[in-house]
């Protein structure tokens, strides 16, 4: 199974975005997590295309784009043009999920779907054959620095069983409250990709923190 760390740029210092992106580029993290928030799907607004383009210029690493926006189908193409390698949309944010997935596929990006803490994994079961990744939110989406919601690990195990049973190669990613102290448990439960914002950027030595998560 894959073991990938995807540092969330939401916790970076935007006054030194280039420096922070280059640090991630040098690190053992394979992916870079991009949190896009619209102030409607979540009660917060983060950043959009120009910032993504700046990150893309500072690193060629895999851009893991997490859209916390309503009607994401309206913007899929532009996120792909801004450099997204994977586009993950929330199942709760659209009533046109099939259209959305098709647009992502047509854009050339990998296809992801995310579920909020209260959404059961059964909600995405019929989509699994079309998905490169499922993102399980382990905090309410909207802000970095929150505590991990414990029941999330059980959702990972349930999804792992579903994926293995169906013989899919869908990756499992988890996002929210992840650090070196729970990384081991999450990989063991079946996660392939761990997102970490504050744990990485608030560490005294972020590159070492990434290594600690990777080898937890
Ligand atoms: C929250 C975002 C997360 C966030 C994680 O809505 O999706 O990616 O940046 O931050 P930490 O790792 O600090 O919980
Ligand atoms: Zn995220």
**Domain residue spans of the chain:** 4-214
Distance CA 16, CA 200 (A): 15
**What was the pLDDT predicted at 167?**
97
**What was the pLDDT predicted at 2?**
83
Proximal ligand: closest to the CA of 86: 2
Cβ within 8 Å of residue 53, ≥6 positions away: 82, 83
Please tell me which residue in 20, 35, 38, 85 is annotated as part of the active site. Answer: 35
Fold classified for 4-214: TIM Barrel (3.20.20)
Q: Which residues pair with 45 in a beta bridge?
A: 38
List, chain by chain if needed, residues with CB within 6 Å of any ligand 1 atom.
8, 10-11, 33, 35, 66, 139, 141-146, 175-178, 195-199
Ligand 1 centroid from CA 47, angstroms: 14
Run of H or E including 32: strand 31-37
Proximal ligand: closest to the CA of 140: 1
- Does the annotation mark 35 as catalytic? yes
Distance CA 2, CA 161 (A): 16
Per-residue pLDDT of the chain (216 residues; tens, 9 = 90+): 789 999 999 999 999 999 999 999 999 999 999 999 999 999 999 999 999 999 999 999 999 999 999 999 999 999 999 999 999 999 999 999 999 999 999 999 999 999 999 999 999 999 999 999 999 999 999 999 999 999 999 999 999 999 999 999 999 999 999 999 999 999 999 999 999 999 999 999 999 999 999 999
Atom of ligand 1 nearest to the CA of 142: 6
- Does the annotation mark 38 as catalytic? no
**What was the pLDDT predicted at 33?**
98
**What was the pLDDT predicted at 66?**
98
Cβ within 8 Å of residue 74, ≥6 positions away: none
Please tell me which residue in 38, 64, 175, 192 is annotated as part of the active site. Answer: 175
């Amino acid at each position: 199974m894959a073991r990938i760390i995807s540092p969330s740029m939401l916790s970076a210092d935007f006054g030194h975005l280039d420096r922070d992106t280059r640090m991630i580029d040098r690190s053992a993290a394979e992916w870079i997590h991009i949190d896009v928030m619209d102030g409607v799907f979540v009660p917060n607004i983060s950043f959009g295309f120009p910032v993504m383009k700046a990150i893309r210029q500072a690193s060629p690493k895999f851009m893991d784009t997490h859209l916390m926006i309503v009607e994401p189908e309206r913007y899929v193409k532009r996120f792909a043009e801004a450099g997204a390698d994977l586009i993950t949309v929330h199942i709760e944010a659209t009533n046109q999920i099939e259209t959305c997935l098709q647009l992502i596929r047509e854009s050339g990006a990998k296809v992801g779907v995310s579920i909020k803490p209260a959404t059961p994994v059964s909600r995405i079961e019929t989509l699994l054959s079309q998905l490169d990744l499922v993102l399980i939110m382990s905090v309410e989406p909207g802000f970095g620095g929150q505590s991990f919601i414990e029941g999330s690990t059980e959702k990972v195990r349930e999804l792992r069983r579903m994926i293995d049973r169906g013989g899919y190669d869908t990756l499992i990613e988890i996002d929210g409250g992840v650090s070196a102290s729970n990384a081991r448990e999450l990989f063991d439960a079946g996660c392939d990709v761990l997102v970490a914002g504050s744990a990485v950027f608030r560490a005294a030595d972020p590159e070492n923190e990434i290594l600690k998560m990777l080898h937890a």
